[in-house]
């Protein structure tokens, strides 16, 4: 197998990978190679044919494909090598990744590697929903490929499982395909769809009025043998069951990081995010291997992923210039209902770079106080009027300076 060399190898040509590549080139790194298994670069936005991209990073409202093209063009113009239809399949050693492509197999060796492989939605089978396997069952991703890439007919009447940000995207795709949405389903007591852009807010309010949002319910069966004929839903409190007739079911959200490459590299994984464990500088447990974007947790906006890619580029550039890899990392552990935090480990050197820490919860909590401890020492407390599931919350990071660099784990919990 032939091995080619590059300075930085980036796996995943989505917003995180491409923005990182652009930032590395601007910092003077000579050879930056980005690989992606898809036929075109751009990542997930390439398939999201609605607007909602670019406001924070380009100060323009773009559709997903235009946004994806913008990043791809910028990267190419700066001399980033983009290799599409190239799937990373494993590790030859700590800095060499094996790939397969239509031209054959090979290996790429790099001084530094950035994993930016994104997330996927958990499909029906993994959600353990009983029933046969009729036609008409999608995730948002597979629906968008069906509608926007292959221009195939979907159905007449759909149920959307999930009522969070991405469920809105599903609604738009179904609307475009001429499919009536019978209901959004969520097992939580409220929906979690928040519309971030002032223009178009009327559309969102109107949508919420027109489309039933069934809260506190779970999908307990899919009906139909050859084609979906309906779904059975069960009320989580009363156990009462009900049938909603439909010919299409779309499972949205419930993200799983695309962590296969990270796992194959034996990187330490975080049990909360299910992505690789990283410190505040996007360093994984393996020297010279970084991770950024939605691979770290599902799922943020494209702009957040792109920003993480740029931050990771700073750390990669510092590493290439000889900055030592931290010898020790302090794990961050959470108590329920807190689900995950990012960064989910802290290097003692992070104590000198106070940033913020993101976290999410699994349920709605009013008037909460989040407490950060190291052993018995309380490092920080922060009040929140409301904690919302499927929304990222931010802890200010000044407390990081108070960490005992040789101490034990940092704990995040809700205090009474």
Ligand X SMILES: Cc1cc2nc3c(=O)[nH]c(=O)nc-3n(C[C@H](O)[C@H](O)[C@H](O)COP(=O)(O)OP(=O)(O)OC[C@H]3O[C@@H](n4cnc5c(N)ncnc54)[C@H](O)[C@@H]3O)c2cc1C
Tell me which residues touch ligand X (CB under 6 A). 11-17, 35-38, 43-45, 48, 52-53, 87-88, 116-118, 140-141, 144, 166, 169, 258, 261, 293-294, 299-303, 305
DSSP sequence for 64-125:
HHHHHHHHHHHHHHTT-EEE-S-EEEEEEETTEEEEEETTEEEEEEEEEEEE---EEE--TG
Residue ranges of the alpha helices (H) in 277-385? 302-320
CB closer to ligand X, 244 vs 261: 261
Output the smallest distance, CB 100 to ligand X, in A: 9
Output the smallest distance, CB 178 to ligand X, in A: 18
CB atoms within 10 A of CB 312: 30
Nearest to 248 by CA among 192, 312, 170: 170
CB closer to ligand X, 35 vs 183: 35
Side-chain half-sphere exposure of 311, counting CA atoms within 13 A: 18
CB atoms within 10 A of CB 151: 8
- Structure-block tokens of residue 358: 């993101």
Output the smallest distance, CB 15 to ligand X, in A: 4
CB closer to ligand X, 22 vs 166: 166
- Structure-block tokens of residue 281: 């500088």
Output the smallest distance, CB 183 to ligand X, in A: 19
The DSSP output letter for 224 is -
CB closer to ligand X, 82 vs 412: 82
Output the smallest distance, CB 308 to ligand X, in A: 8
What contacts 348, CB < 8 A, 6 or more positions away? 326, 328, 330, 403, 405, 406
CB closer to ligand X, 12 vs 131: 12
Nearest to 59 by CA among 69, 70, 74: 70
Output the smallest distance, CB 238 to ligand X, in A: 32
> Do you find a cis peptide bond into 6, omega within 30 degrees of 0?
no
Output the smallest distance, CB 293 to ligand X, in A: 2
DSSP 3-state percent helix, strand, coil across the chain (nearest 5): 25, 35, 40
CB closer to ligand X, 286 vs 326: 286
CB closer to ligand X, 118 vs 224: 118
């Amino acid at each position: 197998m032939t091995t080619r060399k590059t300075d930085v190898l980036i796996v995943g040509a989505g917003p995180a990978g491409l923005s990182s590549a652009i930032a590395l080139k601007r910092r003077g790194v000579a050879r930056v190679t980005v690989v992606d298994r898809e036929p075109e670069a751009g990542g997930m936005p390439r398939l999201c044919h609605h607007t909602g991209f670019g406001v924070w990073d380009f100060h323009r409202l773009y559709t997903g494909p235009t946004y994806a093209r913008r990043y791809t063009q910028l990267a190419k113009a700066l001399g980033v090598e983009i290799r599409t239809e190239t799937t990373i399949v494993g590790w030859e050693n700590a800095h060499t990744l094996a790939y397969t492509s239509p031209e054959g197999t090979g290996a790429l060796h790099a001084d530094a590697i950035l994993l930016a492989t994104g997330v996927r939605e958990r499909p029906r089978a993994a959600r353990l929903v009983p029933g046969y396997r009729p036609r008409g069952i999608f995730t948002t991703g597979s629906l968008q490929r069906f509608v926007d890439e292959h221009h195939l007919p979907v159905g007449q009447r759909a149920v959307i499982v999930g009522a969070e940000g991405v469920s809105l995207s599903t609604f738009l795709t179904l609307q475009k395909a001429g499919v009536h949405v019978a209901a959004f389903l969520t097992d939580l007591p409220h929906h979690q769809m928040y519309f971030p852009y002032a223009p178009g807010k009327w559309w969102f309010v109107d949508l919420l009025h027109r489309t039933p949002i069934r809260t506190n319910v779970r999908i307990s069966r899919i009906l139909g043998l050859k084609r979906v004929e309906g779904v059975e839903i069960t009320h989580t409190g009363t156990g009462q069951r009900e049938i909603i007739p439909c010919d299409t079911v779309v499972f949205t959200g419930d993200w799983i990081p695309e962590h296969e490459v990270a796992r194959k590299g034996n990187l330490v994984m975080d049990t909360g995010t299910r992505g690789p464990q990283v410190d505040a500088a996007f360093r994984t447990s393996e020297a010279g291997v970084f991770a950024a974007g939605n691979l770290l947790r599902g799922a943020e906006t494209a702009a957040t992923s792109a920003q993480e890619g740029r931050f990771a580029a700073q750390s990669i550039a510092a590493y290439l210039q000889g900055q030592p890899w931290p010898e020790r990392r302090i794990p961050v552990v959470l108590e329920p209902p807190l689900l995950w935090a990012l960064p989910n480990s802290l290097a003692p050197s992070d104590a000198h770079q106070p940033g913020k820490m993101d976290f999410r919860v699994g349920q709605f909590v009013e008037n909460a106080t989040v407490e950060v401890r190291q052993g018995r020492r309380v490092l920080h407390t922060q009040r929140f009027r409301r904690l919302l599931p499927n929304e990222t919350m931010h802890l200010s990071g000044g407390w990081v300076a108070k960490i005992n660099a040789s101490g034990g784990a940092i704990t995040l919990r809700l205090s009474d």
